[in-house]
Structure 1
Amino acid sequence: MSIVIARVAGSSAGAATAGELSLVPGPRLVARSTADDSAGRLVSVTADDPGGARVVSPVSCTRVYASGGTGLCLRLDPGLTTYQLAVLDPRLRTVREIPLVGVPNRARVSPSGRLVTWTVFVTGDSYNGGRFSTRVGILDTRTQELIPTLEDWPVTVDGRPYRARDLNFWGVTFTSDDRRFYATMSTAGHRYLVLGDLDSHRLRALMDNVECPSLSPDGTRIAFKSALGGDPARGWRLSVLDLATGRITPLAESRSVDDQAAWIDERTVAYAVSRGREHADVWRVPADGTGSPGILIPDATSPAALGGVIGPEAQ
């Protein structure tokens, strides 16, 4: 399936429409608006015209994701300067709130909607000299079990137990079994792709220079960003890793993309590109390295596909 590109860079979002925004699985996408008239609010667009009219919700988020009828909204705590996590039901009603220590950065929901995860920037870790660190949390919305950090889980690197004071984790993506997940682990100047197990509470490093993994719907590939030359100061390149063969395919997006990509279907990934300080657009690119990038949802960030076919059959 191909993506319909309805706008060009710098254009405005489609007009807002009346109606109730729903997270029920279907041929729609949700995102966070950056349009002047709805900045920060949760919006949805149709799969066959993602650049067209949008339904605008009164719910505001700093970062958002949805899957399996569950929404995750990271937002400012009303009336305060701190942040909170809100788990949303299909009608955007809040069913659980958790205060966050730090600034929200990443959000994901497992395909079933059972598990939610988030990453925040924090300060104060003594080993880090006062610079920002990252912290991952995971919540099981069925049992209400909360994992506030991964930093105390046993880790293996190159098949051997690994211990260090500078462990940082971010960018979780879940497998379909609600048991395993992939994430980024930073330590000693390396950024590893790690595989975590929620039953054993253990982590295993798989390969170096893989950040912000995003597992494909069929569970066979991971979209990720890698630091150019291993140095984040030089920017990032979007690529796709085939888990069976280890083959890495750079994508046609040549700009530096600082985002956790989202799979829109088996053949397409989406990501946000900033356009000035307050605005951004969601772009898409084929996952096989062919084609070229194009705008998917103008004036938006944090895309998530709720299900269904995106766009018409490729010609």
Structure 2
Amino acid sequence: MKKIILAFAGTLVLIAAAVIYVVSSRPDTAAALPPAQLTLAPGQLLYRDVSTGRIASVPLDNPGAKPKVSGLRCDRFAVAKQTAVCLAVEPGTLPAVTDVIVLDDHLNVRHTESLGGTPSRARVSPDGKLVHWTLFVTGDSYAATGFSTRAGIYEVETGTLVKTIEELAVYKDGSRYTAADVNFWGITFAADGNRFYTTLGTGGKTYLVEGDYSHYRGKVVRENVECPSLSPDGTRVAFKKKVGDGVWRLSVLDLATMKETALAETRSVDDQALWQDDHTVLYGLDNAVWSVPADGSGTPRRLAADAASPAVTG
């Protein structure tokens, strides 16, 4: 019993340290570069400048160019159409509070929600009408580690907020699945703004869930799929596949055949990949943004250094 208590206490210390690091490592505004005025004009690679926390932009066809760095600071960032979302931890809050900031095509604030937790993932549906995110939270009594996730959705046009999709009706092997330890993370929507995919974590396993947003229900599609990202043509999902303790292999799943393809990136990638187009996948690794072919060929290519949380304007 003593060992269990000590282990649990140690876990809480690590969580607290991680939260403090996220908050304290946010840069001082006075030390940041003079801000550039960014928009969501097509043909850009936007990302979080790791050194300053600010959102930066380079031409997608010339990612080695000198970046333009805005005054917007985020811990996670995503765009689609004329909508962007910025997840930013409120400094000095413990337990952590994250501002979910919805932005227009000139990165002006349209709406803000303040939710408990630290940023994990952020995305915008292809039609720009839904922003969705995942936060790490602490304190769930069922979680042996003392923390869990909250995946939420905000409807840009209606102002509807879904703080967590934990009430999503999920069917596994034809039956409604219920468990106290259900967690969802890494949402990705299809172009129709209705079909979506997410990770379900339960019982020490992870599953890919295909969801129907209008009917608020989903079904388990496959095991061992985390942080799905749907391709622009809606036929494949890029994801991280667990291959060891704390080790993930970036892969692509064909939704029609269920064939998996391991990508040429052999290092462990703990990120929700982003499709640049139907042939190329982007991801953050080792404080840089990388690209790799989606068919398993080629080699990884570093697009931007001192960078994370990539986003592409189309």
TM-score range, shorter chain: 0.7 to 0.9
Q: Which residue of 2 aligns with 1:91?
A: 106
Mapping 1:36-115, distance limit 5 Å: 36=51, 39-77=52-90, 82-115=97-130
- Structure 2: gaps of 5 or more residues: 1-32
| CA distance 1:234–1:129, shift in 2 (3 Å) | closer
Report whether the alignment pairs 1:258 with 2:270.
Answer: yes
1:226-305 to 2 correspondence within 5 Å?
226-228=241-243, 231=244, 233-274=245-286, 280-305=287-312
Give the alignment's TM-score, normalised by structure 1: 0.86
1:22 aligns with 2:39: yes
2:35–2:70 Cα contact (<8 Å) kept: no
TM-score (norm 2): 0.86
Instruction: Deviation per CA, 1:264-296: give whole Å up to 9, x if none.
Output: 11111011112xxxxx00011100000011101
Residue 153 of structure 2 is aligned to residue 141 of structure 1:
no
Task: Give per-residue Cα distances to partners, 1:214-270, cap 9 Å, x unaligned.
Answer: 011111111000100xx4x14000000111111110000000000000011111101
- Tell me if structure 2 keeps the 8 A contact 1:104–1:119: yes
> Aligned-pair distance for 1:210?
0.3
Give the structure with the higher percent helix.
Answer: 2
Q: d(CA) in 1 for partners of 2:234 and 2:199?
A: 17
How far is the alpha carbon of 1:20 from its aligned partner? 2.1
Maintained 8 Å contact 1:17/1:53: no
Q: In 2, are the aligned partners of 1:172 and 1:181 still within 8 Å (CA)?
A: yes
What is the aligned counterpart of 2:180 among 150, 162, 165? 165
Aligned partners of 2:135 and 2:146: how far apart in 1? 13
Aligned length: 280
Q: Quick one: which amino acid aligns to residue 114 of structure 2?
A: P
One-letter amino acid of the counterpart of residue 273, structure 2:
A
State percent identity of aligned pairs.
Answer: 49
| In structure 2, C-alpha distance between the alignment counterparts of 1:164 and 1:131, rounded to whole Å | 17
Inter-partner Cα distance in structure 2 for 1:90 and 1:69: 5
CA shift, 1:213, in A, is: 0.3
Post-superposition offset of 1:76: 2.5
What code does the residue aligned with 2:288 have?
A: D
Consecutive unaligned residues of structure 1, counting only runs of 5 or more, are 1-15, 275-279, 308-315
Q: CA deviation at 1:50?
A: 0.9
State the 1:53 CA deviation. Answer: 1.4
**SS where residue 142 of structure 2 aligns?**
helix
Secondary structure in 1 aligned to 2:250? strand
Paired residues of 1:17 and 1:54 also in contact (CA < 8 A): no
Superposed CA deviations along residues 155-211 of structure 1, whole A, max 9, x for unmatched, are 101121111000000000010011121000001111000011111111211000000
Verify the 8 A CA contact 1:29 1:303 in the aligned structure 2.
yes
In the alignment, the residues of structure 2 paired with residue 300 and residue 178 of structure 1 have an alpha-carbon distance, to the nearest angstrom, of 29
Q: Give the conservation status (yes or no) of the 8 Å contact 1:172–1:182.
A: yes
**8 Å Cα contact 1:32/1:302 also seen in 2:** yes
1:51 is displaced (CA, Å) by 2.0
